[in-house]
Amino acid sequence: MPGIHDAHVHCDREASMKKGPNNNRQTERNSIKELHRTLQYNPDTDLYKFQNVRYGQSPTGDLRFRAPQSPIESGKVVQTGTGTRICPQGQPQWQAKTLMAIGKYSNLKAPFTLEGWVEAIENGMVPPGYINANATEDCLLLDVHIPKKVLKAAGTKNKENPRRRRRLRLQRRLWPTLFEPSGILAQAQSAFNQDFVFVTLNCRLGAFGWLNSAKVLADGDANAALLDQRFVLQWDQDNIHLFGGSKDHVTIMGEPGGRSPVLRHLIAAGTKCKSTKKLFQQAISQSPADIPVATSDPDELYDRFLSILKADNLDAAKSISSAAIITANIT
């Protein structure tokens, strides 16, 4: 299904968090607590990792196509974050056809002509979509990577050494990434003698996160993916100090699909939307050229999505099985 379209940003969200014992962290959002334990410690990189930290309820049923909501789990059970979960993937057909054409000519065996390039795109047959076995709608989760010494110092105050206290106001990187962060954390330490906390997140993709037709607003929230991302930025404001970071030194970073949202959040930060202000201080938009993408009319994409589901409206689509929705997302 279709990719990114115009951004609609809303103002809301509050949360808080409390520290648990040892290397546990006890989260609290709207008086509902969660207790998380580090999944692993890597002695080679000297990093701890909290995995699958829940920042939002499962966006299914009535919450499907809606803004994220705070978790409701109880803090009586320690969450270890085992397993892998990703949000269902989505790719517009125009992009799939373009990638096929690139593959045809990238081996340099086929003679390139502009006419052949256009024909390869227009007449290309998109193969059936692949559904990752780890894909699930219940994917509003994030991971936190922390240097050992930073985690040990988290939440402590050193009045005798204000220089050290300032150093613990750590920068962090926030955004979806395909890269394991141990390299950038090691470089920050070796080159600049600095540490930071690295956070990655899942957000909804394809039709789950980027429907933005005016018709969506009757039964849902437009561009839910941007709302997921900002929800994590608010989570960060309330919780990152427990991991040794600082809410006052936040850097967001994205590439390539995360590039465009970074720019959208920069735009929102310059508006009068109070909840967007001060959520981050710096931004890195990798491959920053934000060119217009070939796309259809949002209403047309919305209608096409519903026709695949055989649903009359978005409200009806909320009761359709997760498997059917995930399949429609890549059709």
Q: Provide the token pair at 279.
A: 């959520």
Structure tokens at 13: 């969200």
Lowest model confidence (mean pLDDT) among 82-86, 195-199, 294-298: 294-298
More confident residue, 5 or 211: 211
CA distance 165 to 136: 41
CA angle, 84 as apex, 32 and 326 as ends, to 5°? 90
Q: How confident is the model at residue 14 (pLDDT cuts 50, 70, 90)?
A: very low
Tokens at 85, concatenated? 């979960």
Prior bond to 256 cis, omega within 30?
yes
DSSP string, 193-258: S--EEEEEE----THHHH---GGGGGTS-TTHHHHHHHHHHHHHHHHGGGGTEEEEEEEEEE-STT
pLDDT value at residue 93: 65
How many CB atoms sit inside 10 A of residue 108's CB? Answer: 7
Which has the higher per-residue pLDDT, 235 or 75?
235
Whose CA is closest to 38, among 17, 21, 60?
21
Quickly list H helices, 135-210: 148-153, 162-167, 182-192, 207-210
Span 240-291, pLDDT tens digits: 988 888 899 898 988 777 778 888 888 888 776 666 668 998 888 887 666 6
Q: Which CATH architecture has domain 16-86+134-329?
A: 3-Layer(aba) Sandwich (3.40)
* pLDDT tier at 305, thresholds 50, 70, 90: very high
42's enclosing H/E stretch is strand 40-42
- pLDDT number for residue 31: 44
Q: pLDDT (tens digit, 9 = 90+) per residue, 51-64?
A: 899 999 999 999 99
Could you count the other beta carbons within 10 Å of the beta carbon of residue 187? 11
Residue ranges of domains in the chain: 16-86+134-329, 93-122
Name the strands in the sheet holding 196-201, side by side, starting at the edge strand that comes first in the sequence. 40-42, 47-54, 141-147, 196-201, 170-174, 245-254, 282-285
For residues 215 and 312, the answer to whether their CB atoms sit within 8 Å is no
Cα–Cα nearest to 284, from 170, 143, 174, 168: 174
pLDDT, one tens digit per residue, over 183-236 is 777 777 777 777 888 998 999 998 999 998 888 998 899 999 999 999 999 999
**pLDDT classification of 310: cutoffs 50, 70, 90:** very high
pLDDT category at 182 given cuts 50, 70, 90 is: confident
Contact 204, 224 (CB under 8 A): yes
Q: What pLDDT is attached to residue 137?
A: 96
> What per-residue confidence (pLDDT) applies to 3?
31
30 by Cβ neighbours in 10 Å (0-12 / 13-18 / 19+) ranks as exposed
| Distance from C-alpha of 291 to C-alpha of 287, rounded to nearest angstrom | 11
Look at the pTM and tell me if it is higher than 0.85. Answer: no
